[in-house]
Homo-oligomer: A and B are copies of this chain.
Amino acid sequence: MTDILIVEDDEAISNLIYVNLKDEGYRCTCAYDGEQGADYIESQNFDLVLLDIMLPKINGYELLEYIKTIKIPVIFITAKCDVNDRIKGLKLGADDYISKPFQIGELSARIEAVLRRYFKVENKLVLDDVIIQTDSRVVLKQGNPVCLTVKEFDLLVELMRNKNISLYRDQLYEKVWKEPFLGETRTLDAHIQRLRKKLQWEDRIKTVFRIGYRLEV
């Protein structure tokens, strides 16, 4: 769940954003001045801050400086159409800006873009002679395509994104199968075996006894 902090003193705008982003599946918190915004940021982890410039108590620029020290992406909301304002914001480290009045659609597009940029999912995964293109779902071993099924592919990506990390059986299963792990079947094992065989990774994919599996580099 993505947490967004909305720092905006105009209640109408704040509400509008809140309602719309909530509908799109974000969890939102509203702060109505800079001080309150700072308080929230200290007490809770957010994934993104929407920040108005003109704010009571602490203004947007000041708050921005503080936020950037803790590395949360920020989208500036500015009423001013002046290019200088935008530049000032970007100079201070904002990741994007949007000018009032704006379309909600535009805002959510920018939010998505910034989040993608920040927590950017790596598209190309490589480990010795195996290359994975996550977008085109192609797996190459020594340059030759390897034919993986959907489940095998998803499982492989999950392992590759967590090289050298022991993944718990249940968590791994739930991530790939997107359903609760009941743990009385050999489904996960079977898929691990198939992966090992197809990639000849019998000793790359380690079993961590009583825990799960680990892709060892």
Interface residues of chain A, those whose CB is within 8 Å of chain B, are 10-13, 15-16, 19, 22-23, 83-84, 86-88, 90-91, 95-96, 100-102, 113, 117, 135-138, 145, 149-150, 164-166, 208-211, 214, 216
Distance of A210 Cα from B151 Cα, bound (Å) = 10
- Oligomer: number of copies: 2
Contact indicator B16/A90 (Cβ below 8 Å): yes
A19-B136 contact given A12-B91, A211-B150, CB 8 Å threshold: no
Contact indicator B164/A136 (Cβ below 8 Å): yes
Distance of A10 Cα from B102 Cα, bound (Å) = 27
Distance of A123 Cα from B86 Cα, bound (Å) = 40
Contact indicator B91/A11 (Cβ below 8 Å): yes
Q: How far is the CB of A147 from chain B (nearest CB, A)?
A: 9
Contact indicator B23/A87 (Cβ below 8 Å): no
Contact indicator B211/A145 (Cβ below 8 Å): no
CB-CB under 8 A from A11, the residues of chain B are: 91
Distance of A101 Cα from B214 Cα, bound (Å) = 43
Contact indicator B137/A90 (Cβ below 8 Å): no
Q: Could you say which of A164, A208, A210 has the most chain B C-beta atoms within 10 Å of its C-beta? A: A208
Contact indicator A136/B165 (Cβ below 8 Å): yes
Partner of A138 from B113, B137, B166 at Cβ < 8 Å: B166
Distance of A95 Cα from B20 Cα, bound (Å) = 11
8 A–B contacts from the bound complex (CB under 8 Å): A10-B87, A11-B91, A23-B113, A136-B165, A136-B166, A136-B214, A138-B164, A149-B210
